[in-house]
Amino acid sequence: MDIKWLEDFLSLAQTRNFSRAADDRHVTQSALSRRIRSLEAWVGADLVDRSTYPLVLTPAGKIFSASAEEAMRLLNDTRAQLRVRGPDENLLRISAGHTLSLNFFPMWLKSVRSQVGEIHASILPANVHDSVLSLVEGNCDLLLSYYHADLPVELDALRYEYVSLGTEVVLPVSVPSRKGTALYSLPGSKAKPIPRLNNIKASFFGRVVERVLARSDQPCYFVNAYESDMAELLKRMALEGHGLAWLPQSSIANELAEGKLVRAGGEQWAMEMDIRLYRAVDNKNPVLLKLWGALGGRQGE
């Protein structure tokens, strides 16, 4: 039995709606439904009456709900006590995407330490979905994430707050030609399509690139040359001259300065995003509150 199933079930019991519970749990409705079915199989009884709207708990569901609430209360209380008694009270657990973990976080942490003193940080690299879920489930103190109005991080503003730490630009790049211009330059043509080093569509940067292309009124012509969900791999392929890639500027700052990579299109082909740091309002970790105050964030009552 997965503890997430209990949290899913309690959310469903509270909202009485699969769609709202799925939003609350940051999963798709079909994934939530599968997990509730798995929990029912583990329990050995139907917990939810799906024949009514809004749905209701079955008699077994009502009994199990009370036990699940008590079990989660005990688990969360015990976890809180263990964390308070941990060997390193200055440790902050930060969940972040792989690119932010590699390129932004080290410099940011150095800057923070110069303001507030020694802070020990544990970085937890993950994809966007898992990073957000880590914050929601209390498995980290802070979420470091990109934000754009077209690709929002969906968190309840009453329960979570953020500070902006800077900006990031995702832009198309290529190795230079002998003339110093991009060897592969947008938009390409039917006769000579551009070899494209793709971000996987389901990834965050994949969705960024799809949004950039969708908002342009100029068609592009590509032939798919490579695909990955890791920006560092796409960067390596671009440096080897295999094609054009959209990459975060922070990850290629040195290569752009040295001329190893050059922009492969104008501003219309780039997207600027915020870099945000999120925290749960009810997290009273003293080190977190000290940091939050230094960053200019509102401190919870």
Q: What is the pLDDT along the chain (301 residues), one digit of tens a residue?
A: 788 889 999 999 999 989 888 888 888 888 889 999 999 999 999 999 887 778 889 999 999 998 888 888 877 766 665 555 454 566 889 999 889 999 899 999 998 888 888 888 889 888 887 888 889 888 899 999 999 999 888 888 899 999 999 999 999 999 999 999 999 999 999 999 999 999 988 788 999 999 999 998 899 999 999 999 888 999 999 999 999 999 999 999 999 999 999 999 999 999 999 999 999 999 988 889 989 999 986 544 3
**Residue 272: beta bridge partners?**
169
For 200-232, the DSSP string reads PTTSHHHHHHHHHHHH-SS---EEEEEEES-HH
For residue 249, tell me if it sits in a domain. yes
Q: 247 is written with which tokens?
A: 């990459």
In this structure, the strands spanning 142-147 and 160-174 are: unpaired
Report the SS3 class of residue 139: coil
For residue 224, tell me if it sits in a domain. yes
Q: Which of 84, 105, 121 lies at the terminal end of a domain, its last residue? A: 84
CATH assignment of the domain containing 258: 3.40.190.10
For residue 299, tell me if it sits in a domain. no
**Total structural domains within the chain:** 2
Q: Is the pTM of this model over 0.95?
A: no
* Domain that residue 209 falls in: 168-273
